[in-house]
Amino acid sequence: MQPELPKEITKLIGKISFKDSSPILVQKGLWQNFCSAIEDANPIYWDESKSKNYRDGPISHPALLPSWVHDFEWHPDRKKIQPMQLHFHIKDLLELPLGIVTEVEIEFYEPVIDGDEISSEQKLISISDIVKTKLGKGRYWLIEVKYHNQKNQLTGKQNIHFLGYKK
């Protein structure tokens, strides 16, 4: 028989429980570091004049959308805000110290450009019964994240499936 989920978890389902605001302005040099790491030469990320053939200027690499709400690893004035706080909150409540992403679905709407400020809101959609996996015993859960820019335009939506587990 499966143990019941803690009430602190069930009351999170279907509600926006964490919001992240942009810790950093979107910057061309930052997205170009990422493009360099994956060796993506698409001029729409790199070249001011060539990108105008396709759009009115360069855009950030779409894969980085969630990264723009990730805090600094270290900051001189404050403690780090954990990215995907809802995921870590669930891990803490369930006493599952380890977690990995198992599945991702992401949609891209308004393109992200230099100078944008991205914010996000996180919602727990579902959580599984206890499962036994190769990594350990744990649970799967699904979190929906919506991303907006400073004009409140929806830049994208992500559904992330996690496995939280312990050895």
Partner 1 sequence: MKSNKLLPIFKHLTSVKSIQSGAIFSRDWAPLHSNQDWAINKGNLPNIIMNNYTLNGLLIKYVTDIYGPSTRIGKVSFSIKKPICPDNLIEFHGNLENEKPINDDLSLLTINIDIKVFDQTFSSAKVVAGVNSTENEKNSPWNIGTDIWKSYLE
Task: Choose, by CB under 8 A, the member of 25, 54, 126, 130 that binds partner 1.
Answer: 54
Q: Which element (helix H / strand E) includes 49?
A: helix 48-51
Q: Token digits for 30?
A: 């930052």
DSSP assignment of 79-108 equals: PPPPTTHHHHHHHHHHT--EEEEEEEEEEE
Q: Which of 124, 119, 127 is nearest to 143 (CA)?
A: 124
Residue 98 binds to partner 1 (criterion: CB under 8 A): yes
Q: How far is the CB of 76 from partner 1 (least distance, A)?
A: 17
Cα(149)–Cα(114) distance, integer angstroms: 11
Taking contact as CB under 8 A, which single stretch among the options 4-12, 14-22, 47-55, 137-145 is the one that binds partner 1? 47-55
Applying CB under 8 A, does 167 fall inside the site for partner 1? yes
Stretch that binds partner 1, among 9-17, 93-101, 123-131, 137-145 (CB under 8 A): 93-101
Q: Is 5 in the site for partner 1 (CB under 8 A)?
A: no
Q: What letter would DSSP give residue 63?
A: G
- List of residues contacting partner 1 (CB under 8 A): 30, 33-40, 42-44, 50-51, 53-55, 59, 61-64, 66-68, 70, 73, 83, 98, 100-111, 135-136, 153-154, 160-161, 167
